[in-house]
Amino acid sequence: MFWARRLMTLCILRQVSSWSHEPADNGAHVPARIAVIGGGIGGTATAYFLQQHFGDDLVLDLYEHRTVGGRLAVLEIAGHTYEVGGSVIHPGNRYMVEFAKKFGLQKKESCSDGQVGLFDGEKYVFRESSWFLVNIAKLIWRYGMDVMTLQRNLQETLKKFGRIYDLQAEGQAFSKVSALLHALDPSFLEMTHVSVRDWLKKLGTRDLIIDELVTAVTNCNYGQTADLHAFVGAIAVAGADPKLWAVTGGNKRVPEELLKHSRATLLQRKVEEIGLIEGGGFIVTSVEAETPENGERHSLNNNVDNTEKELRPQIYDLVVVAAPLTKDSSNIKFVNFTKEFTFPGHYQKIFCTMVQGKLRPESVKLEGDSVDEILVTNTSLIFNSIGKQSPTDAKCSEQYPDVWKIFSGISLGEEHLNTFFEELKLFHEVQWLAYPHYDSDQQLGDFELHPGLYHLNAIEWAGSAMEMSNIGAKNVALLALKHWLQDPAAGKMDVQRDEL
């Protein structure tokens, strides 16, 4: 099979060796042929931004061999749907806010008081009250005024990060993740080379805040300790904002609408190879996708026997890989390039278990008033967080069953779940390679692998979030436009258009 595939690729390369890669700067309005590989939030946002920049001078294919939405997904339980992937959006995420507004997507009604408890395995070191002023007093009583300093530092970081929207509106793009961070603020690049623990200690933050508040949110949001690098740690802490929101019907509605408005052709195929054509352009070789049952689409195993499947090559001017490229998460081969591509790190395995049942208060040391979400400060426990869920499309006045979401680093199974639930009606486990495993001294990747070939998900090594994917998508769309037009200033005037 390997040699047959290689022979076919070589034959195609010979046939197109004289194919001329003519950019659109000759006035002929030759449409650009672009492939986007991956149909998650990043891939669909890339397709959307490409359509915005290239307009009608574009032939766009999007390859997705699973379900559009990627790590944004819902699961049906007792007649309702619940988020099992990326579930919250920060109010400062400008692209997500604008997408929802443009596509007429409504914010999901919040049906919870949002009371949170920080659990160390034996007791709750902090429990929220339903009264705002009481919470402020409790926070200051335990953590001192440093907690306010932490909040101010975070707001300043978010303000600096918000510069990316102005830079991108001006048409600025970056071939390296490090260059993008440095353009926002030199300290951002420095933050990727120090742990969030050491960064906060340098700012004078008390150990108690790091060991409890910061560890709880890094454990919940990334399944990791406060030893991950400081930039992604700041993203994790921002994920504790009380004004977080979600889309009615599920956040996957955003990539679905992005794909529709991009007018890209959806190819339900799995990409096997990307080959470089002498003289310019690429060959993308794919096979027909499997049709997995619900749940299998999130499998950690990407290895599929394609021996009997028909390989289909397709020629493109530009290619965007909008999927993780690591040894544990991708089998895409790169053919005929002058250098060998190596991709760092691995993705963190996480288990999301959705449970319909009644929580045993004593199993999580609850007495008196309950909490809606339990965050764990002790990373040796078997779960990272437990949170009560509301359906993606239900009104708060409606009746719906008790459903809980548990994040853990291991598969819990019915035996463990029976410990936590006295009425276990059903459960469903979804396995994810959810986000990178971060180091305290992080190696960052490149957006541009080769002129005309881009890797959007390189941005995840700075931080993994829906809006980070959108920012990476805008960046590679601008890089693609500049390369195609051979014009470094291309994209600058898009800010004058009445669109994103």
- Residue 42 CA to residue 258 CA, distance in Å, equals 10
Is residue 27 included in any domain, yes or no?
no
Q: Taking residues 257-280, what's their average pLDDT?
A: 96
Indicate the range of 62-71, 76-85, 111-120 predicted with least confidence: 111-120
pLDDT value of residue 114: 64
302 has a pLDDT exceeding 70: no
340 and 298 inside one domain:
yes
Burial class (CB in 10 A: 0-12, 13-18, 19+), 269: buried
Instruction: Give me the pLDDT at residue 77, please.
Output: 94
pLDDT of residue 426: 93
- The CATH number given to whatever domain includes residue 84 is 3.90.660.20
Q: For the ranges 141-150, 194-203, 261-270, 275-284, which has the lowest average pLDDT?
A: 141-150
Q: Tell whether 338 and 462 lie within a shared domain.
A: yes
The tally of CA atoms less than 13 A away on the side-chain side of residue 139 is: 19
At 82-137, the pLDDT tens digits run: 999 999 999 999 999 999 999 999 999 877 666 899 999 999 999 988 788 888 89
- If one compares 14 and 290, the residue with the highest pLDDT of the two is 290
Residue 40 within any structural domain of the chain: yes
pLDDT of residue 112: 66
- 458 in the same domain as 428: no
- Residue 28's pLDDT band (cuts 50, 70, 90): low
Report how many domains make up the chain.
3
Q: Which residue has 């955003």 as its token pair?
A: 254
110 and 55, same structural domain? no
Do residues 66 and 79 share a domain? no
Q: Is 485 in the same domain as 416?
A: no
What pLDDT, on a 0 to 100 scale, did the predictor assign at position 390? 92
- Final residue before a domain boundary, out of 215, 240, 265: 240
pLDDT category of residue 242 using cuts at 50, 70 and 90: confident
pLDDT of residue 186: 96
Please check whether residues 198 and 272 belong to one and the same domain: no
Lowest-pLDDT range, 71-85, 245-259, 388-402? 388-402
CATH of the domain at 491: 3.50.50.60
Q: Are residues 281 and 339 in the same domain?
A: yes
Average pLDDT of span 54-66: 95
Residues 456 and 330 in one domain: yes
Q: Are residues 330 and 190 in the same domain?
A: no
Asked if residue 23 belongs to a domain, the reply is no
In this structure, are 166 and 225 located in the same domain?
yes
pLDDT classification of 7: cutoffs 50, 70, 90: very low
Asked if residue 431 has pLDDT above 50, the reply is yes
> Identity (one letter) of the amino acid at 129?
S
Q: Which of 19-23, 55-59, 104-108, 234-238 is predicted with the least confidence, judged by mean pLDDT?
A: 19-23
Residues 321 and 426 occupy one common structural domain? no
Looking at per-residue confidence, does 450 or 308 come out higher? Answer: 450
Q: Is the pLDDT of residue 191 over 50?
A: yes
Between 251 and 242, whose confidence is greater?
251
Average pLDDT over every residue of 6-25: 47
106 within some domain: yes
Where does a domain end: 240, 260, 277?
Answer: 240
Q: Is 301 a residue whose pLDDT tops 80? A: no
Q: Does residue 293 surpass a pLDDT of 50? A: no
- Asked which of 41-45, 68-72, 150-154, 428-432 is least confident by mean pLDDT, the reply is 150-154
Q: Evaluate whether residue 18 is within a structural domain.
A: no
In terms of DSSP bridges, do strands 312-316 and 373-376 run parallel, antiparallel, or are they unpaired?
unpaired
Q: What is the mean pLDDT of residues 404-432?
A: 94
| Average pLDDT score, the chain | 88
Q: Is the pLDDT reported for residue 232 higher than 60?
A: yes
Domain that holds residue 186: 144-172+181-240
Per-residue pLDDT for 22 more than 70? no
- Which has the higher per-residue pLDDT, 424 or 319? 319
Mean pLDDT of 14-42: 69
Q: What is the mean pLDDT of residues 225-242?
A: 89
Residue 357 lies in a domain: yes
| Domain edge (last residue) among 240, 274, 290 | 240
3-state secondary structure the chain: CHHHHHHHHHHHHHHCCCCCCCCHHHCCCCCEEEEEECCEHHHHHHHHHHHHHHCCCEEEEEECCCCCECCCCEEEECCEEEECCCCCECCCCHHHHHHHHHCCCCECCCCCCCCEEEECCCCEEEECCCCHHHHHHHHHHHHCCHHHHHHHHHHHHHHHHCHHHHHHHCCCCCCEHHHHHHHHCHHHHHHCCCEHHHHHHHCCCCHHHHHHHHHHHHHHHHCCCCCCEHHHHHHHHHCCCCCCECECCCCCHHHHHHHHHHCCEEECEEEEEEEECCCCCEEEEEEECCCCCCCHHHCCCCCCCCCCCCCEEEEECEEEECCCCCCCCCCCEEECCCCCCCCCCCEEEEEEEEEEEEECHHHHCCCCCCCCEEEECCCCCCCCEEEEECCCCCCCCCCCCCEEEEEECCCCHHHHHHHHEEEEEEEEEEEEEEEECCCCCCCCCECEEECCEEEHHHHHHCCCCHHHHHHHHHHHHHHHHHHHHCCCCCCHHHHHCCCC
Instruction: Look at residue 211 and tell me if it is in a domain.
Output: yes
Q: What is the mean pLDDT of residues 321-331?
A: 85
Can you give the pLDDT at residue 136? 87
Q: Is pLDDT larger for residue 451 or for residue 308?
A: 451
pLDDT of residue 393: 86
What local confidence, expressed as pLDDT, does residue 198 receive?
Answer: 97
Say what percent of the chain tops pLDDT 70: 88
The mean pLDDT value for 377-404 works out to 91
Is 270 within the bounds of a domain? Answer: yes
